[in-house]
Structure 1
Amino acid sequence: MDEYMFKLRDDQHRHLVKPFSLHVLDRSLDAISAIHDKGWAHNDVHGGNLMLDSDMRVKVIDFGGATKCEENAYVAEHEKHTNKILKDHKEALRVFSGLYTTNTFNSVKDFEDKLQKCI
């Protein structure tokens, strides 16, 4: 994605930054939601684990930290899994924001802290 963004940031293609960033966000959320629908949380979503194929489809890779989200778990466990799913989505937003704004966010907490300063 960084390679595409570098090309898009030149004056000739700058108008494509927003649609490309939104495409990556939309497709990332679709892919991550598909993982969640199968009962898993990725737990390590970042730009290096979101890849584009030659047809511009977003692929999520590296499932080494993935954990199963049990449907019939106790409330405390359900809360923990909900937090993991929310974190996966926040990580996708962090990647999108980095692509779109060129700001680097080192973590979800860093992203949330900088977002709070803007509000």
Structure 2
Amino acid sequence: MDVLSSRILLKPRDFDSSRAFYAETLGLAVYREFPGGTVFFLGGGFLELVGTGSEGPGPDVALWLQVRDVRAAVTELAARGLRPDREPREEPWGLIEAWISDPDGTRIVLVEVPPDHPLRVDTR
């Protein structure tokens, strides 16, 4: 199988609230909009909000968003009124993580890869 592109699809219960959260609170850039949907840039992939859901998120799904500095990201989000579900801390596997949630309760893990971590590719 040759994967040419990828997206995560979310069907929010309240589209307008979720769109505002991803665009304004998180500050994600819009890749494309169409009737009933918005696609955001998400690092190496995309996040698409489409339609209206009724079930809400499952507990076994989370978005993993790598940022350069988790503490700075949490401070920036706090200035926009978002409080983290869990403050930044170093995990036993060496990543620094903070947890937030979108308006539907979808868990979002903000991740910083420290300079000495094996996942680090960009050593700036």
TM-score normalized with structure 2 length? 0.23
Higher relative contact order (CA 8 A, sep 6+): 1
TM-score normalized with structure 1 length? 0.24
Higher helix proportion:
1
Higher strand proportion:
2
